[in-house]
């Protein structure tokens, strides 16, 4: 896909909502090959230009980016499927980006989210894309921001990002989506557990799942988290995070969830959401730049060897960390000037 003609074909197919072109685009941005990265950058730039032109012409189709996170076993996939089916029934087109944990030994992932969402996966108005986390600790993968843009370009008005279920460390999800829904099991913790920082600070909605199994426990947990949220700053501007109870299997509480989502994405909040997305873009750029520079430093043989030498000297107390960093930057500056 490195030739311009191929990218033109993929882009045109994406604009038509062609599912094969969408799958090709997502595979392209997930690839680690150099030629694919060049092609992916070209494709994403075309999507950005297309989006900017539409915005300048006043043609806007407000998209909704929703993150669903929570500990393993809390019922994320079950809720995503039922919630997605309901949204389709309301006229929406749903793209689900489900991030699966990668093996620390092999780097592989099961990618079984389509199996866990059998009803949703066969609907024409839905698209499910399992992606490996590749040892990312944010609960998402590095390609998730670009995948969201690609899905929106293909005509999906609601993109749901289902994280790997890493709990407190999934706070980066808030930098990718508009609305973060945190799923919590009944009796999952006492008041101390409820007021832990981290994911609780960025949860826009807290949903107590599996309420049908133990209504009393669900009510108690709801009260605990509602009390905890009152002690924290608002997750978003002009928004107060609600706590609801829900059961995906019996559909109890789904109406309340839809009401909360509709309220969050009301026309009155669109300008606020757009402003927050601009901030997210800058944060995303900063994070990607840091990761890319780190990979560059470790891939360059001379720089990698210099780093290894400095690590030994620092750990043996021969060079202070600040002086080691200064030495490394001096060497990096020399290499950069030589290559220019």
Instruction: Express each pLDDT in 169-217 by its tens digit.
Output: 556 788 899 999 999 888 755 544 544 566 777 889 999 988 888 888 8
The closest of 274, 207, 262 to 236, measured between CA atoms, is: 274
Confirm if 50 and 153 have CB atoms less than 8 A apart. yes
Q: Which of 14, 38, 59 is the last residue of a domain?
A: 59
Burial class (CB in 10 A: 0-12, 13-18, 19+), 2: middle
> Average of pLDDT values for 217-230?
84
Q: Note whether 69 and 203 are same-domain residues.
A: yes
Q: How far apart are CA 203 and CA 78, in angstroms?
A: 19
276 falls within a domain: no
pLDDT band at 159 (very low <50, low <70, confident <90, very high): very high
Confirm if 145 and 29 have CB atoms less than 8 A apart. no
Q: Note whether 208 and 290 are same-domain residues.
A: no
pLDDT band at 109 (very low <50, low <70, confident <90, very high): very low
Q: Note whether 87 and 230 are same-domain residues.
A: yes
Q: How far apart are CA 16 and CA 27, in angstroms?
A: 18
Q: Note whether 50 and 67 are same-domain residues.
A: no
Q: Looking at the 3D structure of the chain, how many domains does it have?
A: 3
275 falls within a domain: no
Checking phi first, is residue 107 left (phi over 0); if not, alpha (psi -120 to 50) or beta? left
202 falls within a domain: yes
Q: Domain containing 26 — which CATH number?
A: 1.20.5.170
Which value, in Å, is the radius of gyration of the alpha carbons in the chain? 22
Percent of the residues in the chain that have a pLDDT greater than 70, as a whole number = 84
Residue with the larger pLDDT of the pair 109 and 167:
167
Confirm if 178 and 64 have CB atoms less than 8 A apart. yes
Concatenated DSSP letters of 275-318: HHHHHHHHHHHHHHHHHHHHHHHHHSHHHHHHHHHHHHHHHTTS
Burial class (CB in 10 A: 0-12, 13-18, 19+), 35: exposed
pLDDT, tens digit (0-9, with 9 covering 90-100), for 252-277: 889 999 999 999 999 999 889 989 99
Q: How far apart are CA 332 and CA 309, in angstroms?
A: 14
Q: Note whether 225 and 165 are same-domain residues.
A: yes
Residue with the larger pLDDT of the pair 59 and 169:
59
pLDDT score of 141: 67
pLDDT, tens digit (0-9, with 9 covering 90-100), for 62-91: 799 999 988 888 889 999 999 999 999 999
pLDDT score of 1: 45
Take residue 322 and report the two structure tokens written for it: 């600040």
pLDDT score of 107: 44
Q: Note whether 55 and 65 are same-domain residues.
A: no
Q: Give the domain extent around 331.
A: 282-339
pLDDT score of 295: 80
**Model pTM score:** 0.84
Q: Which of 216, 244, 269 is the last residue of a domain?
A: 269
274 falls within a domain: no
Q: How far apart are CA 245 and CA 33, in angstroms?
A: 45
Q: Note whether 68 and 194 are same-domain residues.
A: yes
Q: Note whether 81 and 50 are same-domain residues.
A: no
Q: Note whether 137 and 231 are same-domain residues.
A: yes
Q: Note whether 117 and 208 are same-domain residues.
A: yes
pLDDT score of 90: 95
Dihedral pair phi/psi, residue 53, rounded to 5°: -65, -45
Residue 17 has pLDDT above 50, yes or no: yes
Q: Which of 212, 243, 269 is the last residue of a domain?
A: 269
The closest of 31, 146, 37, 48 to 97, measured between CA atoms, is: 146
Q: Note whether 160 and 221 are same-domain residues.
A: yes
Q: Note whether 104 and 220 are same-domain residues.
A: yes
Q: How far apart are CA 272 and CA 238, in angstroms?
A: 8
170 falls within a domain: yes
Q: How far apart are CA 250 and CA 91, in angstroms?
A: 22
The DSSP H or E segment spanning 252 is none
pLDDT score of 137: 44
Alpha helices, H only, the chain: 4-15, 19-30, 34-56, 76-89, 113-116, 118-121, 144-153, 191-194, 199-202, 215-229, 254-264, 270-299, 301-315, 321-339
Q: Domain containing 78 — which CATH number?
A: 3.40.50.300
277 falls within a domain: no
């Amino acid at each position: 896909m490195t030739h311009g003609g191929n990218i033109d074909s993929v882009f045109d197919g994406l604009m038509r909502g062609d599912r094969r072109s969408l799958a090709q685009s997502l595979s392209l941005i997930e690839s680690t090959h150099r030629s694919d990265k060049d092609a992916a950058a070209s494709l994403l730039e075309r999507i950005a230009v297309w989006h900017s032109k539409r915005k300048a012409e006043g043609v806007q189709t407000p998209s909704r980016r929703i993150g669903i996170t929570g500990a393993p076993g809390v019922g994320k996939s079950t809720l995503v499927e039922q919630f997605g089916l309901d949204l389709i029934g309301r006229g929406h087109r749903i793209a689900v980006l489900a991030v699966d944990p990668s093996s620390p030994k092999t780097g592989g992932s099961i990618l079984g989210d389509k199996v866990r969402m059998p009803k949703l996966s066969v609907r024409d108005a839905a698209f499910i894309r399992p992606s490996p986390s590749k040892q990312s600790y944010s609960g998402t993968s590095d390609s998730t921001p670009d995948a969201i843009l690609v899905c929106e370009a293909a005509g999906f008005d609601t993109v749901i990002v289902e994280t790997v279920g890493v709990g407190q460390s999934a706070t980066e999800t808030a930098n990718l989506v508009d609305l973060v829904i945190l799923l919590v099991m009944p009796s999952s913790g006492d008041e101390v557990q409820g007021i832990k920082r981290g994911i609780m600070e960025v949860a826009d909605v807290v949903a107590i799942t599996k309420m049908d199994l133990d209504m009393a426990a669900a009510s108690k947990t709801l009260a605990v988290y509602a009390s905890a949220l009152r002690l924290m700053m608002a997750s978003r501007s002009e928004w107060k995070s609600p706590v609801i109870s829900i059961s995906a299997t019996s559909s109890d509480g789904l109406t309340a969830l839809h009401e909360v989502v509709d309220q969050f994405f009301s026309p009155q909040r669109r300008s606020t959401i757009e402003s927050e997305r601009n901030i997210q873009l800058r944060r995303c750029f900063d994070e990607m730049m840091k990761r890319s520079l780190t990979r560059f430093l470790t891939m360059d043989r001379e720089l990698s060897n210099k780093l290894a030498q400095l690590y030994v000297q620092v750990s043996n107390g021969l060079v202070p960390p600040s002086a080691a960093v200064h030495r490394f930057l001096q060497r990096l500056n020399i290499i950069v000037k030589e290559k220019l």
